Amino acid sequence: MPDKNKPTETMSPDEKFAAVANLKDKLEENFISLGQLLSEIKRSKLFLYKGYEKFKDFVEAEYQLSGSLAGKLVGTHDLFIEEMDVDEEEVKQIGFDRLNMIKPLIQKADWKLRDEWLHKAEEMPTKELRDHIKELKKQEKEADVDLKDVYIEQYMEKMISWFNCSRKELNFKLALYFQDADLDEMKQIVKERQRRFEQETQNKE
């Protein structure tokens, strides 16, 4: 059995492979050490030593770990331990699942926001944290709604309903309708209506 106290940088390739096999059976307890080993194996391409061309193929064949899970383990270690230098005990207390919930939110965030999310992950129960993140994403999505997209969808729904056809068939019908249109006149009409639309949109804001 691998020596848990032995620094990973002094391990031979075979010792690292054996350590991964030993740690993966209790992933939630060992996700930091496991992430560190997998990160080193991936970064130094030690999987080539075992005859694999890709890290994903290596972890799936040798340890029955999905490539996505291995990627999460590596990413969690690299972000929270290597980049942010968070205390390992704090990382363990938050846990692998909650760390992965907040990871996408803090990867490009400033340090103040990162600290806030770490505190939330440490204090909030898993379900509450998940619901909180879900609500924030919903609010961001609603705030990013483009009124032009809304207008287009409303128009398309109206026309599809009127012609009682698919969107593809509607595009064909519109092409037939516009093929002989006066393009200069159409361009002028579109410019005037677009200007009116943008003015009305600004007034609503």
State pTM to two decimals.
0.63
For 94-108, what is the mean pLDDT? 92
- Token couple for 142: 């609603």
CA distance 2 to 47: 18
- Let me know how long the chain is: 205
pLDDT at 67 over 90: yes
* pLDDT tens readout for residues 127-136: 999 999 999 8
**DSSP of 115-134:** HHHHHHHHHS-HHHHHHHHH
- Token couple for 22: 């030993």
For 16, phi then psi, to 5°, come to -65, -45
